[in-house]
Amino acid sequence: MASLDRSSVWQRVSAGCLGVQDTVNVHVPIADILGIPIHRVSRQQLLQLLQERKEAGLTTWLITANAELIVRADDNPSLAQTLRKADLLVADGSGVVWAGRVLGSYLPERLPGVEIAEELIKWAADEGLSVYFFGAEPGVAEAAVKQLCSKYPGLPVAGYHHGYFAESEGREIVREIEQLKPDILLVALGAPRQELWIEQHISFLDVSIAIGVGGSFDIWAGRVKRAPGWMGDWGLEWLYRLATQPRRAKRMLALPQFVYRVIKARFTSR
């Protein structure tokens, strides 16, 4: 992780040591996007917070929320409640950054889950932190680990397991993670299943950071390509995904819903 200005964040984290586990939620400004609190942090600030929280011995559950997840939560109060329990929620895509602008709460930049997870992996390789990879189809986590280990030599891999399991196997996976105590736990079960899984297990897994990473393992394993950077910058990553994975079409109906609901919220909140 890049070298960071530590002073201001350290005060917040120190307060966390005094037992205020939610200090980050109190001190980082938030954008309310359809009832979901999105932390208004840049990439640098996010990485700094994660680092400082780890050093302070706090567990951080991080969600990178995209428009689709926020629409789902808007339709499902129980899911919204789950998301609000995370320690940090950030804007995964340009749709959420746009919503912040429309609703008068500036969000500095998009922080896609796959990029944030890779930042964590770089950090892990640099600092000797262990990482557990949980999710995706059989063979994919392993292929992703292989790629990442050749890109970041020395990456300490605590373990990996695919995400297609029966209930009894699921208990075994939890036991394994419990015993291995990885510093960083990447959960790639797709949203919102990964968030529900983390909610259910985070209280007794001894990890520093847990994050749902959606299809990131498929990308690292070379099974799925990301949209070119310029498409992401123009807010067109969804179009690329639609063209390359047409089975996602139904899920993408959430995007116009998101735009409609944000504009409606803008005019009803005046």
Footprint on this chain of ligand UDP (rule: CB under 6 A) = 135-137, 163-164, 188-191, 214-215, 217-218
Distant-in-sequence, close-in-space partners of 64: CB < 8 Å, separation ≥ 6: 89, 90, 91, 92, 111, 112, 113, 116, 211, 212
Check if the beta carbon of residue 110 is closer than 8 Å to that of residue 96: yes
174 contacts 200 by C-beta, under 8 angstroms: no
- Please check whether residue 28 is in contact with residue 9, taking contact to mean a CB–CB distance below 8 angstroms: no
- Residue whose token pair is 């990439």: 43
CB of 69 to ligand UDP, least distance (A): 8
CB of 124 to ligand UDP, least distance (A): 20
Q: Which is nearer to ligand UDP, 164 or 234 (CB)?
A: 164
Q: Which of 200, 195, 131, 209 is nearest to 170 (CA)?
A: 200
* Nearest-approach distance from CB 216 to ligand UDP, in angstroms: 7
C-beta closer to ligand UDP: residue 80 or 224: 224
Cβ distance to ligand UDP smaller for residue 100 or 135: 135
Kind and range of the H or E element at 47?
helix 43-55
Choose between 183 and 218: whose C-beta lies nearer to ligand UDP: 218
Closest distance between ligand UDP and the C-beta of residue 135, in Å?
4
95 vs 215 by CB, closer to ligand UDP: 215
Shortest distance in whole angstroms from residue 191 CB to ligand UDP: 4
Measured at CB, which residue is nearest to ligand UDP?
A: 163
Helical pair 113-127 and 43-55, crossing angle rounded to 10 deg: 50
Q: How, if at all, do strands 30-33 and 209-212 pair?
A: unpaired
Residue (24 or 67) nearer to ligand UDP, CB: 67
Output the smallest distance, CB 220 to ligand UDP, in A.
Answer: 10
Q: How many residues does the chain have?
A: 270
